[in-house]
Amino acid sequence: MNLQTPYLGLTLRNPVVVGASPFCDDIDAAMRLEEAGAAALVMHSLFEEQIDLEEAALHHHLETPAESNYEATSYFPRYDEYNLTPSGYLRTLERLKSSLTIPVIASINGRRPGGWVDYARRLESAGADALELNTYQLATDPAFSGEDIEGDIVEILRNVTASVRIPVSVKLSPFHASLSHFAKLLDENGAAGLVLFNRFYQPDFDIDEMEVVPRLKLSFSSELLLRLRWLSILSPKLNGSLACSGGVHTPEDLIKSILGGAHAVQLVSVLLETGPRAISVMLEGLRDWMKEHGHEDLSTMRGALNLKRCPNPAAHERANYIKILQSWKI
Ligand SMILES: Cc1cc2nc3c(=O)[nH]c(=O)nc-3n(C[C@H](O)[C@H](O)[C@H](O)COP(=O)(O)O)c2cc1C
């Protein structure tokens, strides 16, 4: 049985990828994930702000005379104090590349087109097999329209793809007025694939301390439904690959994602909760299901329940919304 899958122009040995997360910072953990069957690993994101800060500090380091008063400029982090940021990221990438045999995908996050985009070239030189653009941003300023934000993302994508030869994917938020339109725009502007979706971390209120508190909650399988819907809608329309990120916890979740049209799934929460074994369990479950349903490889099952191929396409669309609401009886 062949579990190979095309993803961003690469050939992965199976569809299970470690999603962007701190796993990349621990080489031993990354090696254990590879041993358990992971087919690729996405590094956590390097942020535009980190790149700008390092460039500013480097500039400061080169421009400031040695005798100048450090106290006066101590609001600047010292360059040697935060090698853990962009340069540290490059070193981690190099270490991962020399320890793993699976593809390593670097992740970069920026809000506006700018000089930080050049960093993509350095990630490519350090050995990244592909690049994931994480477009997580919270649009709080009413001065920016959805069109402005989407325009910036497309411009960033075009600048990045123009500066590297490796494939570039875009990790999207589900919150776009017309996701199909935007996804197609990204597909036409050089995205080798899309990752559906980013998860937004929502702060909570502590009503005793009267504070806003950050909360990082891991996902549940129930979050998969949003991904299944959009995989099903987008997979017949795009040329690039699709990865499902969010709520993949069980072999059934993996199978459903592929049936929706995913070339790969990205796992984070389940690996943080149960460790590398989750990958072997998922692959075993996938093999069993394929055997039972007569699939020799993934090409025959990928997209079998998407909007174009499923026996009842209305189930994905507005008609189903009306039917579901009217089916509830008090
Ligand atoms: C601790 C942690 C760190 C993460 N860091 C990043 C990151 O740096 N960049 C990114 O694009 N996504 C990041 N994510 C989001 C995950 O890559 C993934 O999209 C999300 O957790 C949904 O997948 P899951 O349901 O398998 O957890 C992070 C998630 C967690 C839990």
Specify the amino acid at residue 273: E
Q: Is the CB of 14 under 6 A from ligand 1?
A: no
Which has the higher per-residue pLDDT, 36 or 216?
A: 36
Q: Which two tokens stand for residue 51?
A: 């790149």
Predicted confidence (pLDDT) at residue 193 exceeds the cutoff of 80: yes
Predicted confidence (pLDDT) at residue 75 exceeds the cutoff of 60: no
Predicted confidence (pLDDT) at residue 66 exceeds the cutoff of 50: no
Average confidence (pLDDT) over 311-320: 73
166 alpha-carbon distance from chain centroid: 16
The per-residue pLDDT of the chain, averaged, comes to 89
Residue 73: per-residue pLDDT: 35
Predicted confidence (pLDDT) at residue 12 exceeds the cutoff of 50: yes
Q: Is the CB of 198 under 6 A from ligand 1?
A: yes
Which has the higher per-residue pLDDT, 320 or 34?
A: 34
| Domain limits, the chain | 5-327
CA of residue 245 to ligand 1 center, whole Å: 8
Residue 201: per-residue pLDDT: 79
Q: Is the CB of 257 under 6 A from ligand 1?
A: no
pLDDT bucket at 188, cuts 50 / 70 / 90: very high
Testing ligand 1's pocket by substitution, the residue of 268, 269, 270, 271 carrying the most ligand atoms inside 8 A of its CB is 268
Cβ atoms of 258 and 251 closer than 8 Å: no
Residue 79: per-residue pLDDT: 39
Which has the higher per-residue pLDDT, 179 or 320?
A: 179
Residue 254: per-residue pLDDT: 98
Average confidence (pLDDT) over 62-86: 43
pLDDT bucket at 58, cuts 50 / 70 / 90: low
Average confidence (pLDDT) over 22-26: 93
The SS3 call for residue 196 is strand
pLDDT bucket at 186, cuts 50 / 70 / 90: very high
Average confidence (pLDDT) over 283-298: 98
Q: How far apart are CA 17 and CA 38, in angstroms?
A: 5
Predicted confidence (pLDDT) at residue 55 exceeds the cutoff of 50: yes
Which residue pairs from 276-280 have beta carbons closer than 8 angstroms and sit at least 24 positions apart in sequence?
276/32, 276/33, 276/35, 276/36, 276/38, 277/36, 278/36, 278/249, 279/16, 279/33, 279/36, 279/37, 279/38, 280/36, 280/37
* Residue (of 270, 311, 310) closest to 36 by Cα position: 270
Predicted confidence (pLDDT) at residue 225 exceeds the cutoff of 80: yes
Residue 84: per-residue pLDDT: 53
Report whether CATH 3.20.20.70 matches the domain 5-327.
Answer: yes
% of residues, the chain, pLDDT over 70: 90
% of residues, the chain, pLDDT over 90: 71
Predicted confidence (pLDDT) at residue 182 exceeds the cutoff of 90: yes
Specify the amino acid at residue 310: C
Predicted confidence (pLDDT) at residue 76 exceeds the cutoff of 60: no
Q: Is the CB of 169 under 6 A from ligand 1?
A: no
Predicted confidence (pLDDT) at residue 157 exceeds the cutoff of 90: yes
**Omega before 197 cis (within 30°)?**
yes
Cβ atoms of 39 and 102 closer than 8 Å: yes
CA nearest ligand 1 atom 2, residue: 21
Residue 19: per-residue pLDDT: 98
Cβ atoms of 247 and 223 closer than 8 Å: yes
What confidence tens digit (pLDDT) does each residue in 83-135 have? 457 889 999 999 999 999 999 999 999 888 887 888 899 999 999 999 999 98
Residue 250 burial (10 A CB sphere; 0-12, 13-18, 19+): middle
The SS3 call for residue 199 is coil
Cβ atoms of 324 and 314 closer than 8 Å: no
Q: How many residues does the chain have?
A: 330
Q: Residue 172: in which H helix or E strand, if any?
A: strand 168-172
Residue 72: per-residue pLDDT: 32
Average confidence (pLDDT) over 278-289: 98
CA of residue 85 to ligand 1 center, whole Å: 18
Residue 97: per-residue pLDDT: 98
Instruction: Work out which ligand 1 atom sits closest to the CA atom of 272.
Output: 31
Instruction: Work out which ligand 1 atom sits closest to the CA atom of 216.
Output: 31
Q: How far apart are CA 26 and CA 177, in angstroms?
A: 38
Which has the higher per-residue pLDDT, 256 or 137?
A: 256
Give CA torsion, residues 142, 144, 146, 148, to 10 deg.
170
CA nearest ligand 1 atom 23, residue: 246
Residue 52: per-residue pLDDT: 75
Q: How far is CA 154 from CA 8, 184, 186, in A?
A: 18, 11, 6
Cβ atoms of 120 and 108 closer than 8 Å: yes
Q: Which of 149-153, 294-298, 308-312 has the lowest mean pLDDT?
A: 308-312
Q: Is the CB of 38 under 6 A from ligand 1?
A: no
**Omega before 200 cis (within 30°)?**
no
